[in-house]
Amino acid sequence: MRTSRLSNSLRSFWLALLMLSASAVCAQSVPTDAAQYHYELGITAAERNNYQKALEEFQTSYAIRQVPRLLINIGRAHHRLGNLREAIDVYESYLRIELNAPLSVVIQVKDFLKNPPEGSPTC
């Protein structure tokens, strides 16, 4: 029961962050360039559950243009790959870097950090 509820919560968390990230990057008027191209490839890969490819594309996009909300995508890809320590590190970086993060995202990230999935490191 707890695992099912946690699984549903994580699915909802992913969808909300993915939608927020997509709209946030677009709202920032990022021109169609290399960063946007890799971001879009990452979104497509994530939608196809190819989280390794999504991670690579989001990291490439972030290397080109440090849009803080991309860290949410990077953290989520790590999370889906089972790299929970890396996901936690990236989410914490997001909270340090993005001083104007939407409250809803801050709450979701902090909730994840307080209650990581079972088996994740708690350092």
Output the domain CATH number for residue 35: 1.25.40.10
Residue at 95 is within a domain: yes
Does residue 58 fall inside a structural domain? Answer: yes
Asked, for residue 12, whether it belongs to a domain, the answer is no
CB atoms inside a 10 Å sphere around CB 12: 11
Question: What pTM value is reported for the model?
Answer: 0.69
Is 8 inside a domain boundary? Answer: no
| Domains held by the chain: number | 1
Q: Is the residue at 10 inside a domain?
A: no
Q: Is residue 23 part of a domain?
A: no
pLDDT number for residue 111: 85
Q: Please give the residue range of the domain that contains residue 75.
A: 31-114
pLDDT digits (tens, 9 = 90+) for 21-74: 544 444 444 446 999 999 999 999 999 999 999 999 999 999 999 999 999 999
Q: 19 lies in a domain?
A: no
Predicted confidence at residue 80, as pLDDT, reads 93
